[in-house]
Amino acid sequence: MAVRQREEAAASLEPGRRERLREIYRWMILLRTLDERMLTLQRQGRIGFYGSCYGQEAATLASAAALEPGDWIFPALREQGAMLLRGFPIVPFLCQVFGNAGDPQKGRQMPSHQADASVRQASWSSVIGTQLTHAVGAAYAAKRRGEPTVVMAYLGDGATSSAEFHQALDAAGRWKVPVVFCCQNNRWSISLPVDRQTAAPELWRKGLAYGVPSERVDGNDLVAVHVASSQAVGRARGGGPCLLELVTYRLGAHSSSDDPTRYRDPAEVERALARDPLVVGRERLAAAGAWTDEDDARARRDAAGEVARAIAEAEALPRPAPGTLFDDVYAEPPWILAEQRERLAAELAAAPRRRPGE
Ligand SMILES: Cc1ncc(C[n+]2csc(CCOP(=O)(O)OP(=O)(O)O)c2C)c(N)n1
Ligand SMILES: [Mg+2]
């Protein structure tokens, strides 16, 4: 399949899709608000680490919004916000970043690596590319069981140079499994620009080598992303894989541990800001009469209030209880762990202040 231009799709805002697009745009505002606040908290020392989606809100949310509740997401590094759109509550989402008692992962995972089976989202894969073979495995299992599940597997431009990308595409093409690969080409892999990373920077073409229908989409246009993703998910359900290259831009730092002014020309970022997905999305919706200045003001006000309330609630929670260290590993803990848990409880009861940091 050749690359398809999405301008015609971007212009089409049929009534059935209108409300969904407004909803996605509200989530984009909420995610932007959340990322800004959390990066401030990181600089204030209130959280240790944060990975932001800044500039990639349309690519993340408008693609995930094409899924049904029973479908799975195997994210890369920027798609945690999809969990919120798919119904995961914001307070436990934030508790994961604080690593506190409200964190469903009990403080054991690196911050920003949210995951929850209730919304069928696997963990952010810190090892670049490994989620792709897992996603193909999950899609293969769904196909063998005759389940209608679609798996959406995200990756960055950098991940297209990983061995797993090629293994996953090869297997998905061969087995015709229901997986949609969403490659967020944000132009950078930490400090390496995409044209220095690969001799074939039109990443969508890499899918064709494996017999996987592939196309390039404007990843900053929520309408284009949503239309392309909905079609891809529809084709995958009961059908085969496809690869979408969502062309976007990482407006922020790689993570809270990175300083892009060391390697990136600020003029490039200035140019990219003209195509900020929040700007593009607002123009798209407003041009179709689907978004007003009042809608915008209300959405921003609501997002600021909701984020502030959620942070206050999450930050007030204590650390995970030390005994939770022993949970979730064995269905029936072996005697040696049961004994250690009892000993820890006894020691803490005798000297409760000996917890580190207290
Ligand atoms: C296998 C592996 N190699 C290297 C790294 C270090 N690393 C972390 S993020 C990253 C860049 C990822 O770039 P990309 O796939 O484009 O995703 P983006 O960060 O742009 O969303 C690298 C090289 C890693 N985590 N895993
Ligand atoms: Mg990248």
pLDDT tens-digit profile of 77-120?
999 999 999 999 999 999 999 999 999 999 999 999 999 999 99
- pLDDT higher than 50, residue 10: no
Q: Is residue 186 a contact partner of residue 245, using CB atoms and an 8 Å limit?
A: no
Looking at the structure, tell me whether residues 80 and 137 fall in a common domain. Answer: yes
Q: How far is the CA of 211 from the centre of ligand 1 (A)?
A: 26
Place of tokens 């897992």: 134
Q: Is the CB of 260 under 6 A from ligand 1?
A: no
Looking at the structure, tell me whether residues 68 and 198 fall in a common domain. Answer: yes
Q: Is the CB of 192 under 6 A from ligand 1?
A: no
Domain encompassing residue 328: 323-354
254 is catalytic: yes
- pLDDT higher than 90, residue 312: yes
Looking at the structure, tell me whether residues 49 and 163 fall in a common domain. Answer: yes
Looking at the structure, tell me whether residues 29 and 77 fall in a common domain. Answer: yes
CA 271/CA 267 separation, integer angstroms: 6
Looking at the structure, tell me whether residues 70 and 211 fall in a common domain. Answer: yes
Place of tokens 């300083």: 259
Looking at the structure, tell me whether residues 331 and 222 fall in a common domain. Answer: no
Is residue 315 in a domain? Answer: yes
What pLDDT, on the 0 to 100 scale, is given for residue 3? Answer: 42
Is residue 26 in a domain? Answer: yes
What does the pLDDT average to over 126-144? 97
- pLDDT higher than 70, residue 138: yes
What percent of the chain clears pLDDT 70, i.e. is strictly above it?
A: 95
Looking at the structure, tell me whether residues 241 and 103 fall in a common domain. Answer: yes
What pLDDT, on the 0 to 100 scale, is given for residue 15? Answer: 77
Q: Given 226, 250, 282, 284, which residue is catalytic?
A: 250
- pLDDT higher than 70, residue 356: no
The model's pTM is: 0.94
Looking at the structure, tell me whether residues 296 and 329 fall in a common domain. Answer: no
What pLDDT, on the 0 to 100 scale, is given for residue 2? Answer: 35
152 sits in which H/E element: strand 151-156
297 HSE (CA, 13 A, CB side): 3
Is residue 332 in a domain? Answer: yes
Q: Is the CB of 157 under 6 A from ligand 1?
A: yes
Looking at the structure, tell me whether residues 291 and 333 fall in a common domain. Answer: no
User: How many residues in the chain?
Assistant: 358
Judging by DSSP bridges, how do beta strands 214-218 and 242-247 pair with one another?
parallel
Q: What is the CATH number of the domain that holds 34?
A: 3.40.50.970
What does the pLDDT average to over 12-39? 93
| 108-120 as b/e: b if 16+ CB within 10 A | ebebbbbbbeebb
Per-residue pLDDT band at 329 (split at 50, 70, 90): confident
Name the average pLDDT for the chain. Answer: 94
Q: How many domains does the chain have?
A: 2
Residues 6+ away with beta carbon under 8 Å from 301? none
E strands in 157-256: 179-185, 188-189, 192-193, 214-218, 242-247
Is residue 2 in a domain? Answer: no
Q: Is the CB of 190 under 6 A from ligand 1?
A: yes
Looking at the structure, tell me whether residues 343 and 276 fall in a common domain. Answer: no
What does the pLDDT average to over 165-170? 98
Joined together, the tokens standing for residue 251 give: 């407006």
Is residue 136 in a domain? Answer: yes
Looking at the structure, tell me whether residues 78 and 134 fall in a common domain. Answer: yes
Looking at the structure, tell me whether residues 178 and 256 fall in a common domain. Answer: yes
Joined together, the tokens standing for residue 274 give: 């003209």
